[in-house]
């Protein structure tokens, strides 16, 4: 091992911060020399993907499909990110069954339906329903169990796992990196249970982590929180930039209801606090957080909701039970389920009292624990104090379903992350490109009916701009957007040559992140990134050259379309 390799190896194992330099290695850690309290190994592949969420899985599929070898890490023991470990049924647009996402994403959705048809005792009517929705939740046309997502994604990746093209390291978190100039040389991933470290070396590196963890470790320039109106000229931007003002995170949970049973246990340790808590927001919140009223996102007026675990439609109000329901017992043979099962990702368990971005590890964990306490408190409140349509209070038969979440405490394995670090990109998507109101001001004769058209489009998506309450005290920011494209420029860091984003960490603003952060868009980003890596390797050009040279861009977009990616809306 030469001196450079030894220093790199020793420093990565020692857990130092990123190694940075201009054509030279500069170590920033204090530990030089191999520690003795954990073991290490080295692995190599064409592509190293950090993070096994929707974007990471889509990147892996695209890379492997195009002949590249891949190592993908995942911090938990479930791949799938927001659809599995975070417990969030797909948030999608109304055209998703026919267009507006890559073919590979629609394959995933179809495989979910087939999984239920092959493995569950569906009723004949449900089995024959072309667009089967196992839970019939109102939020999505395909509300399903998190662990089904894990099984389906694993099945999709299985051929590449079998041939050795793909290796997945579960329970591994990226801890450090070696960077030489503008290139990542290798990263160190730590087994979160044993402390053992694996040095991962490759030609290309993909940050598909939920919080953009690889960006600070590699010295990649990035932005967090809110930009100001002076920064971006966006209609809904903040008056003042605040890098620590990020959207709420949510620890989701699954529950069912056993009528006639008393499943109430001791209250959570923070229950008294959350029971009385009134969010301090601008504009003001409607009242207490644990209540069936909340600030309606688009108007911020106080809005009434209802809750009935029997699944009844309530007069004039949304029954929260049906919102993210993942099992509708009536889709299954009688006796299969005691009752429906629903996932809770509601306004009442959005945690905005702390930050998960750019804070010390202890603070990160403390805030995750407090977010769990909020969710446990919401569950206890539903059991004991929630107003019932019949005039009573509480539903004591509610039961946490940690078995469906893969956890002992009933909570999701990982908090639902709405906002990540975002790369300083070659091109940044602004509200004027996708926001309906802002488009009317810049689009002339189009009258704000179409989003901006990007010459370098590598995918499409749609969702309204939906910003949840933030750690800086902002209430909802929620307004219409337009069906949009994903520009290649937003996937390219300004400086780094062999690192790409594949999650919520692309070149958006705090505002436009609100419509680029959902399941099918994250998948679309991963699909484009995987194919970009394959195309650049085949043509032997840097990623940036694909955008700069129009003949290469045209060939790349043709490759995308041949592999089922839509680059424009019909």
pLDDT in tens, 285-305: 999 999 999 999 999 999 999
The DSSP bridge partners found for residue 493 are: 425
Residues with Cβ < 8 Å from 411, sequence gap 6 or more?
251, 252, 253, 372, 375, 376, 402, 405
| Euclidean distance between CA atoms 490 and 423, whole angstroms | 8
Question: Per-residue pLDDT for 45 more than 60?
Answer: yes
Residue 38: its pLDDT value, please? 60
Query: How confident is the model over 450-459, as a mean pLDDT?
Result: 96
Domains and CATH numbers, the chain: 3-218 (3.50.50.60), 225-244+420-562 (no CATH), 249-405 (no CATH)
Q: Is 269 exposed, middle or buried (0-12, 13-18, 19+ CB in 10 A)?
A: exposed
Above pLDDT 90, what percent of the chain? 90
pLDDT of residue 441: 85
Confidence band (pLDDT; 50, 70, 90) for 27? Answer: very low
Is the pLDDT confidence value at 2 over 70?
Answer: no
Between the two ends of the chain, the Cα-to-Cα distance in Å is: 56
pLDDT in tens, 364-423: 999 999 999 999 999 999 999 999 999 999 999 999 999 999 999 999 999 999 999 999
Average pLDDT, the chain: 93
Whether the bond between 455 and the residue before it is cis, its omega within 30 degrees of 0, is no
Neighbours of 561 (CB within 10 A): 12
Is the per-residue pLDDT at 28 higher than 90? no
> At 119, which helix (H) or strand (E)?
helix 103-119
With 70 as the cut, is the pLDDT of residue 331 above it? yes
- CA distances in angstroms from 506 to 211, 289, 431, 459, listed in the order given: 11, 32, 15, 13
Q: How many H-runs (helices) and E-runs (strands) does the chain carry?
A: 17, 23
Q: Can you give the pLDDT at residue 21? A: 31
Report the pLDDT value the prediction gives residue 442, as an integer from 0 to 100: 81
Rounded to 5 degrees, what are φ and ψ at 355?
Answer: -120, 150
Query: Quick check: 349 and 250 in contact, CB under 8 A?
Result: yes
Specify the pLDDT at position 8.
52
Range name among 10-24, 439-453, 518-532 with the lowest pLDDT average? 10-24
**Dist CA 496 CA 214 (whole Å):** 12
Torsion sign (Cα): 85, 88, 92, 96: positive
User: Quick one: pLDDT at residue 329?
Assistant: 97
């Amino acid at each position: 091992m030469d001196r450079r390799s030894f220093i790199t190896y020793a420093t990565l194992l020692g857990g130092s911060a990123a190694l940075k330099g201009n054509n030279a290695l500069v170590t920033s850690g204090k530990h030089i020399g191999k520690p003795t309290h954990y073991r290490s190994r080295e692995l190599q592949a064409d592509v190293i993907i950090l993070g096994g969420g929707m974007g990471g899985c889509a990147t892996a599929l695209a890379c492997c499909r195009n002949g590249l070898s891949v190592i993908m890490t995942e911090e938990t023991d479930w791949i799938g990110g927001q659809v599995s470990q975070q417990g969030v049924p797909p948030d999608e647009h109304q055209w998703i069954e026919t267009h507006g996402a890559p073919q590979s994403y629609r394959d995933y959705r179809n495989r979910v339906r087939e999984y239920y048809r092959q493995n569950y005792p569906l009723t004949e009517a449900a089995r024959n329903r072309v667009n089967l929705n196992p839970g019939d939740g109102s939020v999505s046309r395909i509300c399903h169990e998190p662990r089904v997502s894990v099984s389906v994604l694993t099945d999709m990746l299985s051929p590449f796992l079998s041939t050795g093209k793909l290796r997945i390291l579960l329970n591994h978190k990226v801890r450090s990196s070696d960077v030489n100039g503008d290139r990542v040389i290798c990263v160190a991933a730590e087994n979160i249970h044993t402390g053992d470290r694996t040095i991962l070396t490759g030609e290309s590196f993909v940050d598909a982590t939920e919080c953009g963890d690889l960006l600070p470790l590699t010295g990649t320039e990035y932005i967090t929180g809110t930009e100001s109106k002076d920064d971006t000229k966006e209609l809904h931007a903040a008056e003042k930039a605040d890098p620590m003002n990020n959207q709420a995170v949510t620890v989701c949970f699954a529950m069912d209801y056993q009528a006639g049973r008393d499943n109430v246990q001791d209250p959570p340790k923070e229950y008294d606090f959350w029971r009385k808590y009134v969010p301090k927001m601008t504009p003001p919140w409607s009242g207490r957080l644990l209540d069936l009223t909340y600030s309606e996102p688009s108007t911020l007026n106080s809005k009434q909701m209802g809750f009935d675990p029997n699944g009844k439609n309530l007069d004039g109000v949304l029954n929260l039970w049906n919102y993210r329901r993942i099992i509708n017992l009536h889709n299954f043979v009688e006796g299969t389920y005691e009752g429906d099962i629903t996932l809770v990702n509601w306004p009442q368990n959005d945690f905005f009292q702390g930050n998960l971005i750019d804070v010390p590890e202890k603070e990160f964990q403390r805030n995750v624990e407090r977010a769990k306490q909020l969710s446990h408190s919401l569950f206890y409140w539903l059991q004991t104090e929630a107003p019932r349509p019949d005039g009573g209070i509480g539903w004591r038969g509610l039961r946490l379903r940690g078995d469906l979440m893969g956890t002992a405490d009933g909570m999701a394995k990982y908090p639902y992350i709405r906002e990540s670090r975002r790369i300083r990109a070659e091109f940044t998507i602004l509200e004027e490109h996708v926001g309906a109101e802002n488009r009317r001001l810049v689009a002339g004769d189009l009258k704000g009916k179409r989003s901006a058209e990007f010459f370098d489009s590598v995918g499409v998506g749609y969702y309204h701009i939906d910003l949840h309450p933030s750690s800086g005290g902002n209430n909802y920011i929620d307004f219409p957007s337009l069906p949009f494209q994903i520009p290649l420029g937003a996937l390219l860091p300004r400086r780094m040559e062999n690192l790409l984003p594949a999650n919520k960490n692309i070149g958006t603003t705090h505002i436009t992140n609100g419509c680029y952060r959902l399941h099918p868009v994250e998948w679309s980003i991963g699909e484009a990134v995987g194919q970009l890596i394959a195309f650049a390797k085949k043509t032997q050009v840097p990623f940036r050259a694909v955008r700069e040279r129009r003949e290469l861009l045209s060939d790349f977009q043709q490759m995308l379309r041949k592999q089922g990616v839509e680059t424009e809306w019909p």
